Amino acid sequence: MDCLVGEYCWFDIYRKVPKDLTQPTYTGAIISVCCCLFILFLFLSELTGFIATEIVNELYVDDPDKDSGGKIEVNLNISLPNLHCELVGLDIQDEMGRHEVGHIDNSMKITLNNGEGCRFEGHFSINKVPGNFHVSTHSATAQPQNPDMTHVIHKLSFGDKLQVHNVHGAFNALEGADKLSSNPLASHDYILKIVPTVYEDMSGKQRYSYQYTVANKEYVAYSHTGRIIPAIWFRYDLSPITVKYTERRQPLYRFITSICAIIGGTFTVAGILDSCIFTASEAWKKIQLGKMQ
């Protein structure tokens, strides 16, 4: 605050030092330039962090998508290069009593290898209870003698597709699973643990998807009547734990606080450093002149 002539300013915490009582030095100039460059670097780093969004995740026990009617959407894309399309079918069953053989809704079969193989693409729903769906020849009119269940899984996903840069989850954990070198007569079991996942963007809109972990085994099954027809089983169970990803931006007050801390802290440290260097240089000059006893 400015004072009238003759007044004593008790409240001015920013008291001024007359310019004729200050002394510029080369060391001070170098420290000042380095100080400004350092502040600029830290400011740009903080500004980049403030503009960018961050993803925060949390875990809780709940069914997040209560409006789904107890259903989970499934997308399956699998190739069986040594099995005719007329033999390939999808069967679905679960602990609620569902047992569907030869599911055909929202599915497509594409012939491979001049009709020798088949690519099955299906979009269907399952109940939120333990169960399984499997690719097999069970729905075929006539069962083949030696069905070849070697395969490649291109896609197996649940719920909405999430394409978020900062979220790296196991939404398509079986992508690229290659069993072409397996025993043609072996059955394949994929045991899936499905984890509900919620993504909430900056606007508060939520999208529901599912990650999953997988373990697998292959075997040739027999019963008292002989060898059992092989199949590709996907046995699933749901985890009670939900993973939630929330997109958010750093609050403005935190950004301002950081900038003030950067500027104030840098100038304070630089001032201490400059003072120490100046004091040491003055002491050295006195020693050289013989004034220091």
Largest CA distance in the chain: 115
9 domain residue, yes or no = no
Would you give per-residue pLDDT tens digits along the chain (293 residues)? 455 544 555 666 566 667 666 667 777 788 888 888 988 998 888 888 777 777 788 888 888 887 778 899 999 999 999 999 999 999 999 999 999 998 888 899 999 999 899 999 999 999 999 999 999 999 888 888 889 999 999 999 998 887 766 777 788 999 999 999 999 999 999 999 999 999 888 888 888 899 999 999 999 988 777 788 999 999 999 999 999 988 887 788 888 888 889 888 888 888 888 788 878 877 777 777 765 55
- Angle (CA) 4-8-11 rounded to 5° is 100
Q: Give yes or no: residues 87 and 146 share one domain.
A: yes
Q: Give yes or no: residues 26 and 161 share one domain.
A: no
139 domain residue, yes or no = yes
SS3 293: coil
Q: Give yes or no: residues 227 and 89 share one domain.
A: yes
Q: Give yes or no: residues 223 and 259 share one domain.
A: no
pLDDT at residue number 56: 80
Whole domain around residue 255: which residue ranges?
A: 20-52+250-270
Q: Give yes or no: residues 27 and 64 share one domain.
A: no
7 domain residue, yes or no = no
Please say whether the beta carbons of 232 and 78 come within 8 A. Answer: yes
> Which residue is listed with tokens 């075997």?
219
pLDDT at residue number 14: 60
**Residue 73 CB partners (closer than 8 Å, separation 6+):** 123, 124, 125, 158, 159, 160
pLDDT at residue number 293: 53
291 domain residue, yes or no = no
Q: Give yes or no: residues 148 and 46 share one domain.
A: no
Q: Give yes or no: residues 162 and 244 share one domain.
A: yes
Rounded to two decimals, the pTM is: 0.71
CA distance 203 to 288: 69
pLDDT at residue number 125: 94
Q: Give yes or no: residues 28 and 150 share one domain.
A: no
- The number of domains in the chain is 2
pLDDT at residue number 267: 82
Q: Give yes or no: residues 108 and 136 share one domain.
A: yes
Q: Give yes or no: residues 184 and 196 share one domain.
A: yes
Q: Give yes or no: residues 145 and 257 share one domain.
A: no
